[in-house]
Amino acid sequence: MTSANQWLANLTSLYTPTSTQFDKARSHRAAIEARLDVFLGIHEMFEIGSLRHGTGVWLHSDADYLVSLKGIQPASPWTMLSKVKAQLQARFTNTPIVTRTPAIVCKFSDCDVEVVPAYAAHNGYNIANPRGGWMLTHPKDHNSYVTAVNTRHNGAVKRLARQVKLWKYERNVPVSSCYLEMRTAKHMDGETAYVALWDLYLTLRKMRDTSLAAMNDPTGLGSRFGACSSEANRLEAMSKLNTAVDRALKAKDYAKEGFEDLAISQLRLLFDR
């Protein structure tokens, strides 16, 4: 009989991207980089987010790149976003190009690629804040932080982050993937050991208990991480999070009592399987 822990491990493995999943996205990088460098000027372009951190979810995660632009930072990030969007649309005339703050999304026929324009600042980067204005981010330091906590727990942090993101995607929860990843890493940073069902429950519960409040950058470097782009989205996310916490708790408790089938049924509900 399959245990709840085995079921969760199998699900996580199923949604772990292969090493070649993002090859198509990477194939578009050179054209994007060349266009922006010629017409706007760039300092560097590098991978960020799930692709870089190793927490991507098969069939759901996009390839994300940060582009550090040359020149003077404008007063409004919308100026920056509009310029980058216009250049990418001019280069890829038959490709839908949309704004999904803080990114410009190129919806290629074979994949989506998210380009996050930025200006270098304070050893990090200023990017557009979905709630307005600029926000300071340190993606390279964030990656180092997540990797360090993950290494300390023998790879468990990235598995747990993938599970929480899978819940977001499968249940259509309007919450930031970056926020989920950093909340997960922050939770595990304070733990001495990893217990799959217990830590899945605790990660969700801690976010519920904070009402999805913005969190301090755990590296102490950048702006606070916001969970949702609007209050309406936060309320919707909280409703789904309350349900998720209840199901994760039941799954944990049923498994502890030896009722593996009942635990798995709760996990199926949690992940809409």
The pLDDT tens digits for 135-187 are 899 988 888 899 999 999 999 999 999 999 999 999 999 999 889 999 999 99
Choice between 266 and 221, residue whose per-residue pLDDT is larger: 266
pLDDT at position 104 is 97
- Percent of the chain at pLDDT > 70 equals 98
Statement: residue 51 has pLDDT above 90: no
Identify the residue whose tokens are 């557009």. 128
Handedness of CA 67, 214, 209, 228 (dihedral sign): negative
Statement: residue 199 has pLDDT above 80: yes
Statement: residue 77 has pLDDT above 70: yes
DSSP symbols for the chain: ---HHHHHHHHHHHTSPPTTTTHHHHHTHHHHHHHHHHHT-EEEEEEEHHHHHT---TTTPPEEEEEEE-SPPPSSHHHHHHHHHHHHHHHSTTS-EEEETTEEEEE-SS-EEEEEEEEEETTEEEEE-TTSSEEEE-HHHHHHHHHHHHHHTTTHHHHHHHHHHHHHHHTT--S-HHHHHHHHHHHHHT-SS--HHHHHHHHHHHHHHTTT--B--TTSSSPPBPS-SSHHHHHHHHHHHHHHHHHHHHHHHHHHTT-HHHHHHHHHHHTT-
Give CA separation, 144 vs 190, 216, 219, in Å: 17, 16, 9
- Could you tell me which residues are beta bridge partners of residue 7? none
Lowest mean pLDDT among 24-33, 35-44, 48-57: 48-57
DSSP symbols for 163-203: HHHHHHHHTT--S-HHHHHHHHHHHHHT-SS--HHHHHHHH
Choice between 226 and 261, residue whose per-residue pLDDT is larger: 261
Statement: residue 88 has pLDDT above 80: yes
Choice between 50 and 122, residue whose per-residue pLDDT is larger: 122
Statement: residue 229 has pLDDT above 90: no
pLDDT category at 263 given cuts 50, 70, 90 is: very high
pLDDT at position 53 is 65
Give the chain's mean pLDDT: 93
pLDDT category at 1 given cuts 50, 70, 90 is: confident
pLDDT category at 54 given cuts 50, 70, 90 is: confident
Written as six digits, the tokens of 235 are 């309320």
pLDDT category at 94 given cuts 50, 70, 90 is: very high
pLDDT at position 55 is 84
